Amino acid sequence: MARIVVLGGGGGVGGVAARALATAEEVTQLVVADSRLDAARSTIGSLPEGTAATACEVDAASPESLAAVLAGADVALNCVGPFYRFGPPVLRAAIEAGVNYVDVCDDLAPTRVMLELHAEAERRGVSCLVGMGNSPGLANVLVKLCADQLLESVDEVDIFHIHGGEESEGPAVIKHRIQAMIDPVPLFLDGEMIEVQQLGPDGEAHTQQVDFPGVGSSPVYPYPHPETITLPQHIPGLRHATNKGAIFPLSYFALTQEMVRVGACTTSPIEVNGASVIPIEFSVAHILSRRAELLKQAGVQGAAGCLKVIVRGLNAGERQSFTFSLSSRSSGAGEGTGIPAAAGAVMMALGQVAGPGVLPPEAAVSPLPLLMRALKMADALGAGVGESTKIEITREDAQGHLTQIPLPF
């Protein structure tokens, strides 16, 4: 019996999360909150008939507005981006309200800030699960699964991700992508943390080509996602952790990279023909204006995505690795992020998440229950394991022999 508030429930990720939550019998009341009331109502309209759900307007920048929406909630699921702006203040509002919290934050800087709120959340008895999306989220859970059940020890993790072709992208998505190209990227190599720039020579040295089942081969670039800073803290013996990704088509991704390279993504206003222009706002508008054309030129037809996680370690003294590939030719970032977030929110409501405090997925949730709940939700939404969506698990032994592993184990 849970009342769950989905903040940003009118967006691409929040809308999917709300629809996934509506499939869970444990959720008896759903509140879809968004800065755009019409978008929240649109999400409500997409829910199954008879769902106990209400739409409301919320200003994520206003503590008073957040407090009003969170009053009486069991869990707040935060899907409001960009997280470098809204992550920490929304988390603080949930802690102040005494409401357990889940989010899909994949921004490194705000994740660090939110993890620093651990002691305050613990003192107030509030459980907070940060980064419960795809990467981070499912990626962390798969690593934890290996550490708990498949390997005696884990020492290396490589996380790769790609998506593209979604029906639409908003300015917050582009700004997040730009921020990933500007911020230093932490890589955990040989037991030491280093930082590179995605678009710098040091970042190029770590760019590699990866084959993504269901999507194809693509270069992937160092990404400032939080797994590289949280996994070494919670997986004993880990000495290597990287996160790399890309967006397809590459021409669209390259346009964003080029706008960053030429310095057109700064936030200080400049004067253009007597008008004050903020470069990043122009760049975001320009990138979005070219999107449809570039997707058409590349022959992209519909959304797709793939998360590939490679975990290496020892079993009985033998070197082994497990490769997880979660791919879809029918859904993209919304489903890949919103469904695991919804699964995490239900587990939070049921008291199946560690706490109190602020914790990443690998420290807070049991892997198999989370995975099985997410798969059940995906099936209920028609985005489950079928012809267009695949989960492949491969074990490689020290001799290079490959074995397909089914789920559940």
- The three state secondary structure string of 335-370 is HHHHHHHHHHHHHHHCCCCCCCEEECHHHHCCHHHH
Question: What is the mean predicted confidence (pLDDT) over 37-55?
Answer: 95
Residue predicted with more confidence, 407 or 288: 288
* 109 neighbors 84 (Cβ within 8 angstroms): yes
The enclosing H or E element of 130 equals: none
Query: What is the rounded (10 degree) CA torsion for 302, 391, 374, 347?
Result: -140
The letter for the amino acid at 177 is R
Q: Residue 234 pLDDT > 80, yes or no? A: yes
Q: Please tell us whether the domain made up of 2-133+333-380 is placed in CATH 3.40.50.720.
A: yes
Cα separation, 105 vs 82, in Å, equals 9
As a 3-state breakdown, the chain gives helix, strand, coil percent values, each rounded to 5, of 40, 30, 30
Average pLDDT, the chain: 94
pLDDT at 409: 58
Q: Which CATH class is domain 138-247+298-332+386-404?
A: alpha beta
The letter for the amino acid at 62 is S
* 252 neighbors 163 (Cβ within 8 angstroms): no
Cα separation, 35 vs 328, in Å, equals 30
pLDDT at 30: 97
pLDDT at 330: 60
Read off the pTM.
Answer: 0.93
Lowest mean pLDDT among 144-153, 328-337, 397-406: 328-337
* 221 neighbors 246 (Cβ within 8 angstroms): yes
φ and ψ at residue 219, rounded to 5 degrees: -70, 145
Q: Residue 331 pLDDT > 60, yes or no? A: no
Do β-strands 240-248 and 153-164 pair in parallel, antiparallel, or remain unpaired? Answer: parallel
Question: What is the mean predicted confidence (pLDDT) over 107-122?
Answer: 97
Do β-strands 389-396 and 318-328 pair in parallel, antiparallel, or remain unpaired? Answer: antiparallel
Q: Can you name the residues that pair with 102 across neighbouring β-strands?
A: 77, 129
Positive or negative torsion for Cα 137, 140, 143, 148: negative
* 361 neighbors 131 (Cβ within 8 angstroms): yes
Q: Please list, in sequence order, all residues whose beta carbon lies within 8 angstroms of the beta carbon of residue 230, skipping any fewer than 6 positions away.
A: 111, 115, 131, 136, 140, 360, 362, 363
pLDDT at 297: 97
Query: Where do you find CATH 3.30.360.10 in the chain?
Result: 138-247+298-332+386-404
φ and ψ at residue 157, rounded to 5 degrees: -140, 130
Q: Residue 329 pLDDT > 80, yes or no? A: no
Reported as a pLDDT band with limits 50, 70 and 90, residue 389 is low
Which residue bears the tokens 């921020």? 179
Lowest mean pLDDT among 19-23, 27-31, 46-50, 343-347: 46-50
> Residues of the chain with pLDDT > 70: what percent?
96
Cα separation, 93 vs 296, in Å, equals 42
Question: What is the mean predicted confidence (pLDDT) over 221-242?
Answer: 97
Q: Which token pair is 31?
A: 């509140």
Query: Where do you find CATH 3.40.50.720 in the chain?
Result: 2-133+333-380
Measure Cα distances from 151 to 30, 141, 158, 405 in Å: 39, 14, 16, 14
Question: What is the mean predicted confidence (pLDDT) over 47-54?
Answer: 94
Cα separation, 249 vs 77, in Å, equals 30
CA 350 from centre of chain: 22
Question: What is the mean predicted confidence (pLDDT) over 288-298?
Answer: 97
Q: Residue 143 pLDDT > 70, yes or no? A: yes
Q: Which token pair is 105?
A: 């934050």
Q: Which token pair is 196?
A: 């590179």
Cα separation, 314 vs 322, in Å, equals 11
Q: Which token pair is 158?
A: 């490589």
Helical pair 108-115 and 227-234, crossing angle rounded to 10 deg = 40
pLDDT at 385: 46
Question: What is the mean predicted confidence (pLDDT) over 212-240?
Answer: 96
Radius of gyration over alpha carbons of the chain, in Å?
20
> Residues of the chain with pLDDT > 90: what percent?
86
Q: Residue 81 pLDDT > 90, yes or no? A: no
* 336 neighbors 134 (Cβ within 8 angstroms): yes
Q: Residue 387 pLDDT > 50, yes or no? A: no
pLDDT at 388: 46
